[in-house]
A and B are shown apart, each in its own frame.
Chain A
Amino acid sequence: MEKKRLLKGTESIGESAIRSGCTAFYGYPVPTQSDLLEFLAGRETETPGFSVYQSEDPQSAFFMAYGAAAAGGRVMTAVNSIDVPDCIRAVSYFSAADLPLVCVVISQNGPGTGNIYPAQSDTLSLLGGTRLGDGFAPILTPATPSDMAAATYRAFQLAEGHQMPVIILVDAACAQLVETVDFSTVGYREIPARRTPIRGKRGNPKTSLTTLELDIEKMADRKARLEAKKAALLEETPLFKMDDAGDDDAPLLVAFGIAAVQARRAMDALKGEGIACRLFEPLALFPFPEAAFREALEKAGRLFILDMSDGQFDAVIEKYIPESVSVFNFYTTGGAVPRVEQIQSWLQQEIASSH
């Protein structure tokens, strides 16, 4: 396999999934995520042990994946914002059944059918929704195709390692970013399968996989098992990126996805003008890299939050922000990606006026 390839975000996820040992992709074509289905369908024949199935609707994609996972498959699915409810329902079932799944969610603009322009308005529905029935799923938020390759491998490691569903949340702008991805830096290694597949008893006692549990005590056991998994997940290496200006009390920017990509560009431009900023980019919303974020905030008197929703990201991070820090927000909604100049002038103004 070639080491480097020029790829779009979604394609990088697809390529990395194959390199992570994914055995089946179940997809349903809806704008902003169907390129993943197209890319993988194109790779199917040349990849032994890997199959692509297009389902009749997103829900069936999730539950075909459920059956395949139960039989030992390493499965992936993808939806866009409109089908987040199906994703949430699937996370609840995969959580209850202790089955691994990697689900890609491409965020576009709503509410309703909205449009296919990028947005970051699925943050709260995913963070809250995946808790349906006390289930949960890690939510990774890579922004660039290279980060997506790494995140996809990480997602499969987490899914197999903890036997749980994992979400890769990417906005529709990042999904289309093109970059030369160096897959040799990801460090792929065989991810060991950790469960006995359900393929008939084959000499063993029978296995019943059901999420129905009428016994209250056994249900409590299930919840305790999920709690233990969550605790183990929180022990994993936190995922974030920190662009440091070398100056600890420089103003801190926080953003993920396309907002982080644009913020980084604006920072570079500002550097030329002698204004130093730092950027904290969480590569996961759950578990949120809390300790690192708090540490980055310690010296920063000012925090600049950049987000493409009506403030959903604020709601996620506000609990980590001490009262002493002044917070500045920049939201774009409607599908427009914040332009570099916009961010630049916002930062310039706010930094100057808040001195």
Chain B
Amino acid sequence: MDLKFEQIAGFPKSLSETPQHFCPGCTHGVNTRLLAEAIDAMQVSETIVGVCGVGCSALLPDYLDIDMVAAPPGQALSVASGLAHEIGDSGLVFAYVGEGDLYGRGMSTLMHTAIRGEALSVFCANNLNTGMSGGHMSPTSLVGQKTASTPEGKSAVKYGIPIDFTRLLTDIPKTSFIARFKGFTAGDIKKGREYIKRSLLVQKYQRGFTFVEILGICPTNLEMPPTKAVQWVKASTSGIYPSGILKTPEMGRIQ
């Protein structure tokens, strides 16, 4: 029987050839590729503007072949809102921000941007610590998790128990599509690719505030080989940061 070869994976057009400076095994690399794939699939590379937050996310402008603006700490969604106001429906605006930046300094801005229902796709890279700063405790660090600023493990007495910020957003009337996936298991990443596309799609046609949290690994600061970090994050976040769609414009809150 004759065979033909169908390409099932390759290098997305909107991903820049520049070598990436993320650490080996870091899921920022996966996220970057997923964004590029979604941008290509939606054919929006000419009209989309990305905003990146601080820390390791701030490297994104070098790796995506699209217009990008870098924001100061905590202010990525303000910058994205301003861009969206000016660009209107002639383009799309997304923000890619780490959880330390978005849920810490940027928490008030995150809430108010969502409440206003700015037409944005927000992607939060949640890797349970402040990566580039040197692996300190972040708002999503787990109880007991050892970080640079909690060497004995994050204390619930001192810092409380982390909450599911993504879920919190589902209560806001003007948020439309909200989902979360693990950026380190093959099955979840395949779903996540669809979530990212859907979030851009909803923004394009329904102009709502969409939000996707991508659970990731920071092997460098977890001080584990990437293969082990994947297992550790998967096991220790299970039940705390579950994957799936949490809200859609059609059905409202699901989970």
Partner-B contacts on A (CB < 8 A): 23-24, 26, 51, 53, 55-57, 59-73, 75, 89, 93, 197-203, 206-212
Q: Is B7 an interface residue (CB 8 A)?
A: no
A residues less than 8 Å from B91 (CB atoms)? 199-200
What separation, in Å, do the CA atoms of A62 and B67 have in the docked complex?
21
Q: Is the CB of A68 within 8 A of B71?
A: no
Interface size of B in residues (CB-CB distance below 8 Å) = 37
Nearest-CB residue, chain B, relative to A89? B72
Q: Is the CB of B67 within 8 A of A200?
A: yes
A residues less than 8 Å from B87 (CB atoms)? 71, 199-200
Q: Is the CB of A63 within 8 A of B75?
A: yes
B residues less than 8 Å from A60 (CB atoms)? 75, 78, 108-109, 112
A residues less than 8 Å from B62 (CB atoms)? 208
* Known contacts A55-B78, A211-B70; A24/B108 CB under 8 A: no
Q: Is the CB of A198 within 8 A of B67?
A: yes
* Known contacts A206-B65, A206-B66, A209-B69; A56/B109 CB under 8 A: yes
What separation, in Å, do the CA atoms of A22 and B119 have in the docked complex?
23
- Additional pairs, 4, CB under 8 Å, beyond known A64-B82, A66-B78: A56-B109, A60-B78, A73-B86, A199-B47
What separation, in Å, do the CA atoms of A305 and B69 have in the docked complex?
46
The CB with the most chain A CB atoms within 10 A, among B67, B78, B82, B109, is that of B82
Q: Is the CB of B86 within 8 A of A207?
A: no
Q: Is the CB of B78 within 8 A of A210?
A: no
* Known contacts A53-B85, A56-B108, A208-B61; A64/B66 CB under 8 A: no
Give 10 nearest A-B pairs by CB, closest first.
A67-B82, A71-B86, A210-B70, A68-B82, A63-B78, A208-B61, A200-B47, A67-B79, A63-B75, A56-B112
Q: Is the CB of A201 within 8 A of B85?
A: no
Q: Which of B77-135 contact A (CB under 8 A)?
A: 78-87, 90-92, 108-109, 111-112
B residues less than 8 Å from A202 (CB atoms)? 46-47
What separation, in Å, do the CA atoms of A201 and B19 have in the docked complex?
22
A residues less than 8 Å from B34 (CB atoms)? none
What separation, in Å, do the CA atoms of A26 and B58 have in the docked complex?
25
Q: Is B36 an interface residue (CB 8 A)?
A: no
Nearest-CB residue, chain A, relative to B83? A67
Q: Is B230 an interface residue (CB 8 A)?
A: no
Q: Is the CB of A200 within 8 A of B69?
A: no
Q: With both chains docked as a complex, state the minimum distance between the C-beta of A79 and any C-beta of chain B, in angstroms.
A: 15
A residues less than 8 Å from B75 (CB atoms)? 59-60, 63, 66
CB < 8 Å neighbour of B72 from A61, A63, A65: A63
Q: With both chains docked as a complex, state the minimum distance between the C-beta of B11 and any C-beta of chain A, in angstroms.
A: 17
Partner-A contacts on B (CB < 8 A): 44-49, 51, 58, 61-62, 65-72, 74-75, 78-87, 90-92, 108-109, 111-112
5 intermolecular pairs with C-beta atoms under 8 Å apart: A51-B85, A56-B109, A56-B112, A65-B82, A199-B49
Nearest-CB residue, chain B, relative to A59? B75
Q: With both chains docked as a complex, state the minimum distance between the C-beta of B64 and any C-beta of chain A, in angstroms.
A: 8
Q: Is the CB of B78 within 8 A of A67?
A: yes
What separation, in Å, do the CA atoms of A63 and B83 have in the docked complex?
10
CB < 8 Å neighbour of B46 from A26, A56, A66, A203: A203
The CB with the most chain A CB atoms within 10 A, among B71, B81, B86, is that of B86
B residues less than 8 Å from A200 (CB atoms)? 44-49, 66-67, 87, 91-92
Q: Is the CB of A63 within 8 A of B82?
A: yes
Q: With both chains docked as a complex, state the minimum distance between the C-beta of B146 and any C-beta of chain A, in angstroms.
A: 29
B residues less than 8 Å from A61 (CB atoms)? 78
Q: With both chains docked as a complex, state the minimum distance between the C-beta of A213 and any C-beta of chain B, in angstroms.
A: 10
* Known contacts A199-B49, A200-B49, A206-B66; A67/B112 CB under 8 A: no
* Known contacts A199-B67, A200-B66, A207-B67; A64/B81 CB under 8 A: yes
What separation, in Å, do the CA atoms of A201 and B47 have in the docked complex?
6
What separation, in Å, do the CA atoms of A24 and B91 have in the docked complex?
19
* Known contacts A23-B86, A71-B49; A198/B78 CB under 8 A: no
What separation, in Å, do the CA atoms of A244 and B62 have in the docked complex?
58
Q: Is the CB of A63 within 8 A of B79?
A: yes
Q: With both chains docked as a complex, state the minimum distance between the C-beta of A70 and any C-beta of chain B, in angstroms.
A: 5
Q: With both chains docked as a complex, state the minimum distance between the C-beta of B51 and any C-beta of chain A, in angstroms.
A: 7
Q: Is the CB of A57 within 8 A of B108?
A: yes
B residues less than 8 Å from A64 (CB atoms)? 78-79, 81-82, 85
What separation, in Å, do the CA atoms of A238 and B31 have in the docked complex?
52
CB < 8 Å neighbour of A70 from B72, B82, B90, B108: B82
Q: Is the CB of A201 within 8 A of B69?
A: no
What separation, in Å, do the CA atoms of A89 and B75 have in the docked complex?
12
A residues less than 8 Å from B70 (CB atoms)? 208-212
Nearest-CB residue, chain A, relative to B69? A209
What separation, in Å, do the CA atoms of A63 and B109 have in the docked complex?
11
What separation, in Å, do the CA atoms of A93 and B70 have in the docked complex?
11
A residues less than 8 Å from B82 (CB atoms)? 24, 26, 63-71, 73, 75
Nearest-CB residue, chain A, relative to B70? A210
What separation, in Å, do the CA atoms of A56 and B115 have in the docked complex?
11
Q: Is the CB of B61 within 8 A of A201?
A: no
B residues less than 8 Å from A212 (CB atoms)? 58, 70
Q: With both chains docked as a complex, state the minimum distance between the C-beta of A183 and any C-beta of chain B, in angstroms.
A: 26
Q: Is the CB of A201 within 8 A of B67?
A: yes
What separation, in Å, do the CA atoms of A199 and B90 have in the docked complex?
8
Q: With both chains docked as a complex, state the minimum distance between the C-beta of A142 and any C-beta of chain B, in angstroms.
A: 27
Q: With both chains docked as a complex, state the minimum distance between the C-beta of B28 and any C-beta of chain A, in angstroms.
A: 15
